Chains A and B, each alone.
Chain A
Amino acid sequence: MMQTTQVEVKKKMKKDFEPNIIGFLCNWCSYAGADLAGTSRMQYPPNLKVIRVMCSGRINPIFVINALQQGADGVLIGGCHPGDCHYERGNYLARRRYAILRELLDYVGIDPRRVRMTWVSASEGKKFADVVKEVTDEIRELGPIQQLKRENTW
Chain B
Amino acid sequence: MKIGVYVCECGINIAHTVDVEKVVEDVQNLPNVAVSRFYKYMCSDPGQALIKKDIKDLQLDRVVVASCSPRMHEPTFRRVLEETGLNPYFFEMVNIREQCSWVHQEKEKSTGKAIQLITGAVARASFLEPLEKKEVSVIPKALVIGGGVAGIQAALEIAEKGFKVYLVERSPSIGGRMAQLDKTFPTLDCSACILTPKMVDAARHPNIELLTYSEVVGLDGYIGNFKVKVKKKPRYVDEEKCVGCGLCAAACRLKGRIPNEFDLNKGKRSAIYVPFPQAIPLKYTIDPEKCITLKTGKCGDKALCVEACERNAINFDQKEEILELDVGTIVVATGFDLFNPMEKPEYGYGKYPNVITGLEFERLISASGPTGGHIEINGKEPKKVVFIQCVGSRDKKTHEYCSRVCCMYTAKQAHMVKEKIPGADLVIYYTDVRAFGKGFEEFYNRVQGEGIVYRRRELGDPIEVIKNNDKVLVKTKGHPDIDADLVVLATGIIPREDSKELSRILNINQSADGFFLEAHPKLRPMDTFTDGIFLAGCCQSPKDIPDAVAQASGAAVRAAEPLAQGKVEVEAISAVIDADVCGGCRMCEDLCAYSALEFDSEKKVMTCNDVMCKGCGSCASACPTGAITMRHFDMQQILAQIDGISAEAIVQ
Chain A interface residues toward B at CB < 8 A? 20, 22, 27-29, 31-32, 34-35, 37-39, 41-46, 49-55, 57-63, 66-67, 70-72, 83-84, 86-90, 93, 97, 121-124, 129, 152, 154
Instruction: Flag if B102 contacts A41 (CB, 8 Å).
Output: yes
User: CB-CB < 8 A to B117: which residues of A?
Assistant: 49-50
Q: For residues 506 through 543 of chain B, which have their beta carbon under 8 Å from a beta carbon of chain A?
A: 507, 509-512, 517, 529-530
Main secondary structure of the interface of B (DSSP, over half): helix
Instruction: Flag if A84 contacts B98 (CB, 8 Å).
Output: no
Residue of A nearest to B108 (CB): A46
User: CB-CB < 8 A to A49: which residues of B?
Assistant: 113, 116-117, 120, 645, 649
A94 to nearest B CB, angstroms? Answer: 8
List 11 interface pairs A-B (beta carbons < 8 Å), by A numbering: A27-B71, A28-B509, A28-B529, A41-B102, A46-B106, A50-B117, A58-B620, A83-B504, A84-B503, A84-B504, A97-B621
Q: How far, in whole Å, are A49 and B109 apart by their CA atoms in the complex?
A: 12
B593 contacts partner chain A, Cβ-Cβ < 8 Å: yes
Q: How far, in whole Å, are A22 and B573 apart by their CA atoms in the complex?
A: 23
User: CB-CB < 8 A to B647: which residues of A?
Assistant: 70
Instruction: Flag if A121 contacts B509 (CB, 8 Å).
Output: yes
Would you list the 3 A-B pairs with minimal beta carbon distance, nearest first? A38-B98, A58-B617, A57-B618
B564 contacts partner chain A, Cβ-Cβ < 8 Å: no
Q: How far, in whole Å, are A43 and B99 apart by their CA atoms in the complex?
A: 10
B215 to nearest A CB, angstroms? Answer: 19
Instruction: Flag if A22 contacts B645 (CB, 8 Å).
Output: yes
Residue of B nearest to A39 (CB): B98
Contacts A46-B110, A57-B617 given; does A51 touch B71 at CB 8 Å: no
Residue of A nearest to B520 (CB): A39
Residue of B nearest to A28 (CB): B529
Q: How far, in whole Å, are A97 and B641 apart by their CA atoms in the complex?
A: 21
Which among B205-213, B599-607, B631-639 touches the partner chain?
B631-639
Q: For residues 452 through 491 of chain B, which have their beta carbon under 8 Å from a beta carbon of chain A?
A: none
Total A-B pairs in contact (CB under 8 Å)? 154
B14 to nearest A CB, angstroms? Answer: 11
Instruction: Flag if B593 contacts A35 (CB, 8 Å).
Output: no
A83 to nearest B CB, angstroms? Answer: 6
Instruction: Flag if B573 contacts A43 (CB, 8 Å).
Output: no
User: CB-CB < 8 A to B630: which residues of A?
Assistant: 58
B104 contacts partner chain A, Cβ-Cβ < 8 Å: yes
Instruction: Flag if B509 contacts A29 (CB, 8 Å).
Output: yes
User: CB-CB < 8 A to A59: which residues of B?
Assistant: 621
Instruction: Flag if B529 contacts A122 (CB, 8 Å).
Output: yes
User: CB-CB < 8 A to A41: which residues of B?
Assistant: 102-103
Instruction: Flag if B616 contacts A58 (CB, 8 Å).
Output: yes
Q: How far, in whole Å, are A84 and B649 apart by their CA atoms in the complex?
A: 34
B622 contacts partner chain A, Cβ-Cβ < 8 Å: yes
Which of the residues A54, A89, A90 comes within 8 Å of B633, measured between beta carbons?
A54
A118 to nearest B CB, angstroms? Answer: 16
Which of the residues B113, B529, B635, B641 comes within 8 Å of A51, measured between beta carbons?
B641
Fill in one digit per residue for B590-619: 1 if any A CB lies within 8 Å of its CB, else 0. 010100000000000000000000111110
Instruction: Flag if A63 contacts B507 (CB, 8 Å).
Output: no
Q: How far, in whole Å, are A52 and B622 apart by their CA atoms in the complex?
A: 19
B572 to nearest A CB, angstroms? Answer: 12
Which of the residues B70, B504, B616, B620 comes within 8 Å of A52, measured between beta carbons?
B70
User: CB-CB < 8 A to A28: which residues of B?
Assistant: 509, 529
Residue of A nearest to B642 (CB): A67
User: CB-CB < 8 A to A154: which residues of B?
Assistant: 640
Which of the residues B507, B616, B646 comes within 8 Å of A71, measured between beta carbons?
B646
User: CB-CB < 8 A to B616: which residues of A?
Assistant: 54-55, 57-58, 86-87, 90
User: CB-CB < 8 A to B512: which residues of A?
Assistant: 123-124
User: CB-CB < 8 A to A93: which residues of B?
Assistant: 591, 618, 621-622
Contacts A35-B69, A54-B615 given; does A46 touch B113 at CB 8 Å: yes
B479 to nearest A CB, angstroms? Answer: 37
Most chain A Cβ neighbours within 10 Å, of B105, B503, B614: B614
Residue of B nearest to A42 (CB): B103
B112 contacts partner chain A, Cβ-Cβ < 8 Å: yes
Q: How far, in whole Å, are A154 and B647 apart by their CA atoms in the complex?
A: 13
Q: How far, in whole Å, are A51 and B640 apart by their CA atoms in the complex?
A: 11
Fill in one digit per residue for B84-98: 1 if any A CB lies within 8 Å of its CB, else 0. 000000000001011
Instruction: Flag if B642 contacts A70 (CB, 8 Å).
Output: yes
- Assuming A46-B113, A54-B617, what are 5 further A-B pairs, CB within 8 angstroms? A35-B69, A35-B71, A63-B642, A84-B503, A123-B509
A49 to nearest B CB, angstroms? Answer: 5
Residue of A nearest to B646 (CB): A70
Instruction: Flag if A22 contacts B110 (CB, 8 Å).
Output: no
Q: How far, in whole Å, are A67 and B530 apart by their CA atoms in the complex?
A: 31
Instruction: Flag if A123 contacts B103 (CB, 8 Å).
Output: no
Q: How far, in whole Å, are A124 and B117 apart by their CA atoms in the complex?
A: 23
Which of the residues A29, A37, A51, A86 comes within 8 Å of B638, measured between beta carbons?
A51
Which of the residues A20, A38, A62, A122 comes within 8 Å of B649, measured between beta carbons?
A20
Residue of B nearest to A26 (CB): B616
Most chain B Cβ neighbours within 10 Å, of A22, A50, A58: A58
